[in-house]
Structure 1
Amino acid sequence: MTHAETLKIQTRGRGTYEITSAVEEAVGRSGIARGLCNIFLMHTSASLILCENADPTVRRDLETFAARFVKDGDPTFVHDLEGPDDMPAHIRSIFTQASITVPVEDGRCKLGTWQGLFLWEHRTAPHRRTIAVTVMGDA
């Protein structure tokens, strides 16, 4: 059995946005009790992360690291059609991930105690992001 949904997430610009509840609601609507849930982000300048959800300073530190790793407006980048954060956003998304698969057990995502699913927006401007959620398994 397979169930697919599309989520739309509005961001306010660069930062992390927890999507755990939205994904778990999709899993619940699927009627699937045991299987896998794949979450796929349909963009090249944002990413998905499985991260600690209890302390927001973890995600703040990730952003600090990413800002050091790839700087906005770096003059070595040629691709800047959409501004100084254009190529850095692509690099950030390539070094993270666009897809996460988690097990489904008892009709819920089987996440660890402190784990959450997040959309990590790499652009500085607000964007509307599309996420495909596909749940596969048995009822």
Structure 2
Amino acid sequence: MHDYPLLNVFWTMAELFLCILWFFLLFKVINDIFRSHDMGGWAKAGWVILVILLPLLGVLVYVIARGQSMGRRDVEQARQQEAAVRDYIRDAAGGRPGTADAGAGGAGDAGAGHLAKLSELRDHGVITDEEFRRAKDRLPAA
């Protein structure tokens, strides 16, 4: 047996957790610096230099100075991604004639395939029952 007290194991785990948390925050701040549209190139370069040369102070100052706008940018990006995914799913579920996903078979085969896709999307909660009904009404009759 090795002589490593249990309290030291917990302390080592806490240090490891804080190290991982620190790197996550550092990369999040650097990512936010580059995606911020309200700063010019020189301001971004200044923040990056500060964060790299004095990481603890740079990250702390950045979070204090720009933390609120950082949160708003996260929320806005999440909304844009969700809207893009919903638009893509609606377009894919709509099954417009002449698109690549219309199927190789006849109109009945394509309609059945699209209906199966729509049903699967509805079952997984991706589209609502109303969206399912509207998309189903747009399918060609078999």
Higher strand share: 1
Q: Which has the higher contact order (CA 8 A, sep 6+)?
A: 1
Who wins on radius of gyration, i.e. which is larger?
2
Higher helix share: 2
TM-score by length of 1: 0.24
